Structure 1
Amino acid sequence: MARVVVAGGGYGGIAVAKALDDVAEVLLVEPREEFVHHNAALRALVDPEWTDRIFLPYGNLLRHGRILRDHVVRVGDGDGAVTLSSGRRVVADYVVLATGSAYPFPAKMDVFGTVAAKARLRAAREAVAEARSMLLLGAGPVGLELTGEIKDRWPDKAVTIVDPAVDVLGGRYPEEFRAELRRQLDTLGVTLLLETSLTEEPVSEAGQAKSFTVTTRSGHQVSADVWFRCFGVAPASGYLSGSPARTAAGTLRVTPHLRVDGHDRVFALGDLVDLPEAKMARAAGMQADVVAANIRALIEGGELTAYRPASPGISLPLGARGGATYQEGIGVLGAERTAELKGGDLRTTAYTELLDPTRDR
């Protein structure tokens, strides 16, 4: 059988590995002990019942392939070879780069061990529970969603959001959508300080229970007990630093078939790819479908499929009952419809069924 090495066990990586398990020898290389459903990590921060739910074992993902708990540290000894941090060199017929990106905790876990990650969540939850006021730096999707989770769990906590952008979400998406989010934030009692930033970050660590006062460049003083950084995505592509396909931003240039530029049998997807598309799990899943179809076509014979980025859209919950959704061609959907689409389950059931179908949900 053809051998496929998939670097990264996130949303796109598990989808490709699962899709090719029947036609190839799949080796999924992932340093985490278990899959982390990061789309629900902010809910797990505030709700202890979710702490276990977002960690899912890899053991039931593949029937024929194998999971290697390791890092890919080099790709490039010929199209079909990767080197792992353990020193092992694996030769493959096809390579899929799906290592995703790093993002500040709690949106993404910053430790690989499950026990340590759960302990990190519990400690941060205790800090938030004790706090009377919160400061969030960043009014993007993570900052707004975290705000919604905090206010849903603890309505009386004061939350202030600071962002240098002119509006929430950096001014992206239609004004009608952003206005609906601002309206709901105002109803929740959230303080939005836009078009400004802090003169200095708080002296405490993010997620640490320690009261502080900071000043914005516009002259506002903000006092809070806990703060979190809600910006700063960074593609996990350091192992590709010598690749001509790597951009200055750390993403990879790809062909319409999602091959890495200059490589016939190396594909990339998700947060790694340099495409004009929001970096979301949905996009990673769609790209995974195309990558898997193209590798299958190369193995079995057939035509390759070109990837077409989805039209702009976002579903942004503010807790289990709030939020707004925008989809080009449909328009803006309010809190009730957003809660139906995403607020309650956060697609946890779908990933549980994929990774661990016997698990009691």
Structure 2
Amino acid sequence: MSPTVVVIGGGYGGSAAAKALDDVADVVLVEPKDAFFHAVGALRAVVDPEFLPRVFFPYDKLLTNGRVVRDRAVRVEPGRVTLASGEEIAADYIVLATGSGYPFPAKSDVDDTAAAQLKYRQAHAALRAADRVLLLGAGPVGLEFAGEIKDAWPRKKVVIVDPAADILGGYEPGLREEIRRQLTALDVRLVLGTALKENPPTAPGEHGTFHVTTVSDVDITADIWFRCFGVVPSTAYLAGALTDARLASGEVAVTDTLQVKGQDTVFALGDITDIPEAKRGGSAARHAAVVADNIKALMAGSGELVTYQPGPAAILLPLGPSGGAAQLPGQGVLGPEAAAQYKGADLLTGRFGKLFGTHTD
């Protein structure tokens, strides 16, 4: 009998870890969604409904030997996982990969693919009808969303509000300058260093004209708004000895081998970890490789565990299919050509098609 590895969460890191262990362990992937949601393409899917089907990848071809259980983990402790259905799964190893919540539309908050796609189409219709758009948050999501909106509808007025004094803090000045230059060319208005006195009266993504004022007395009129900030780690299910590793932020404390602190057979990866780095799908995939190697080493009973070290700050920020900029290790700041080359028109959908067995192009 092969050891049982239960992976909680089928996002970027969880799916990669499950796939990497499928040949050597009895893998059980627990995931409430019926398909992987490729969040990198989410904002493109809002402005272009034809792109929408390309960001959903069914799990049925991910694993050859293991199984995917469509359910939600409600209690996880060393050696045992309890699901919302009441089923309990005994586990030799557990991988915590539940990621984080984030406001729609940057992430889907619906488990059923058909219902999720309907929600994105409704958001598209509301956004299409709006002449003026307000985005709250000038981080990567707000900036990328502005670029997508302006590429699809160049005449729409887009305003971004953020309390931060500048965009993309922590990155090189040249990157900020390049992104600001492109935003100016797109006629995207940045209102920085201030916040709204109160949120708009309409719900996020709801069409309806409103007027708001910032703390610095900037008046803004818009027809729709979206919240583009607010990462919340999804770790409320931790129980027993694992609660000791859950921090006040909701993140999980891990060692440099990505084992949950105080645990030998429980690992964590991706957005829920307390690793000091940007929460990105690429980071989660790198975590997954370390976790898979370490579980294999523990199963074999030989060799030291490998460690994970965060790399330097890096980002690929598209502003529509042909705009954007990047800051990459060893390459410095790169312009729109590089952003288009690395993410481009398909936003990495081809790569995930291969992972999930939906196509091999």
| Corresponding residue for residue 48 of structure 1 | 49
| Corresponding residue for residue 183 of structure 2 | 185
Shifted more, 192-201 versus 236-245: the winner is: 236-245
Shifted more, 308-317 versus 93-102: the winner is: 308-317
Q: What is the identity percentage for the equivalent residue pairs of Structure 1 and Structure 2?
A: 54
2:20 corresponds to 1:19: yes
Whole-Å separation in 1 of the counterparts to 2:56 and 2:328:
30
Whole-Å separation in 2 of the counterparts to 1:212 and 1:240:
42
Letter in 2 for 1:268: A
| Corresponding residue for residue 287 of structure 1 | 287
Q: In the alignment, is the contact (CA less than 8 A) between 1:283 and 1:310 conserved in 2?
A: no
**SS at structure 1 position matched to 2:341:** helix
Q: In the alignment, is the contact (CA less than 8 A) between 1:56 and 1:355 conserved in 2?
A: yes
Whole-Å separation in 2 of the counterparts to 1:256 and 1:29:
25
Letter in 1 for 2:231: V
Structure 1 ranges of 4+ moved more than 4 A: none
Which residues in structure 2 correspond to 1:58-137 (within 5 Å)?
A: 58-76=59-77, 79-137=78-136
Q: TM-score, normalised by structure 1?
A: 0.97
| Corresponding residue for residue 351 of structure 1 | 352
| Corresponding residue for residue 166 of structure 2 | 167
Q: In the alignment, is the contact (CA less than 8 A) between 2:75 and 2:239 conserved in 1?
A: no
Instruction: Give the unaligned 5+ runs of structure 2.
Output: none
| Corresponding residue for residue 143 of structure 1 | 142
Whole-Å separation in 2 of the counterparts to 1:131 and 1:323:
24
Deviation at 1:345, TM superposition (A): 1.7
Q: In the alignment, is the contact (CA less than 8 A) between 1:271 and 1:279 conserved in 2?
A: yes
Whole-Å separation in 2 of the counterparts to 1:190 and 1:26:
47
Instruction: Give the unaligned 5+ runs of structure 1.
Output: none
1:159-195 Cα distance to aligned partner (Å, 9 max, x none): 00000001012x2201111011001000000110000
Letter in 2 for 1:19: A
Which residues in structure 2 correspond to 1:151-162 (within 5 Å)?
A: 151-162=150-161
| Corresponding residue for residue 270 of structure 1 | 270
Whole-Å separation in 1 of the counterparts to 2:359 and 2:148:
29
| Corresponding residue for residue 224 of structure 2 | 226
Deviation at 1:69, TM superposition (A): 0.6
| Corresponding residue for residue 324 of structure 2 | 323
Deviation at 1:137, TM superposition (A): 0.0
Q: TM-score, normalised by structure 2?
A: 0.97
Letter in 1 for 2:21: L
Letter in 2 for 1:41: A
| Corresponding residue for residue 314 of structure 2 | 313
Give the alignment's Cα RMSD to 1 decimal.
1.1
Letter in 2 for 1:102: G
